[in-house]
Amino acid sequence: MAANRKKVLLKVIILGDSGVGKTSLMNQYVNKKFTNQYKATIGADFLTKEVMVDDKLVTMQIWDTAGQERFQSLGVAFYRGADCCVLVFDLTNAKTFESMDTWRDEFLVQASPRDPDNFPFVVIGNKADLDTKRKVSAQRAEKWCKEKNNIPYHETSAATSQNVEAAFEEIARKALKTDHAEEQIYLPETLTLNNSNNVAGNRPAGSDCAC
């Protein structure tokens, strides 16, 4: 059995206009719950979920940010260090799809990833259960994704849980690739502290020997 070298924490950011179902998607995926009551997210909130990705146990930290303009200035702190960004729109509301460019550009500016051209995005068209009210065709969404460096596209329903698991599985896989590409930078700090303690602790022993 392979030894677990380190606990992998993947930071995932969910972006999109107010009311597209970001919080509902996160709750459906993490807690298997859905509520019809709409409550706007204030600032940002996150949930964590442990998942297996290709035989590796990883912890996904999923950040749900407010869609309202007045909270967008909170961006930098939340976006930094993200391993994957999920762009969500409402299939029954064309305006939310038209905002996708703005959300994507905003993320790249705020998060300033090392390799913006290849940073992993996943696009979700939510509310697939309301297909009779659909305003954005799958072809239109897929075309947009193709033009943006082949972003994976999923249509989900947070209400019925349709395709939610599959979408987040892809998100975890994409995030894990980024995490490997940009090795975690937190580990060396603890090592440095330990080393300085050892050096301090060894110095008196050395002087004893000289006596």
Q: Against a cut of 0.85, is the pTM above it?
A: no
Q: What is the pLDDT along the chain (211 residues), one digit of tens a residue?
A: 444 556 788 999 999 998 999 989 998 998 887 766 656 555 567 888 998 888 888 899 998 876 555 445 555 677 888 999 999 999 999 999 999 999 999 899 888 898 898 999 999 999 999 999 999 999 999 999 999 999 999 999 999 999 999 999 999 999 988 766 555 444 444 444 444 444 444 444 444 444 4
Domain boundaries, the chain: 8-186
The pLDDT, as a whole number, for residue 72 is 53
Helix axes 22-31, 164-181, angle to 10 degrees: 90
Res 68: pLDDT: 54
Which CATH topology does 8-186 take?
A: Rossmann fold (3.40.50)
Rounded CA gap, 86 and 103, in Å? 10
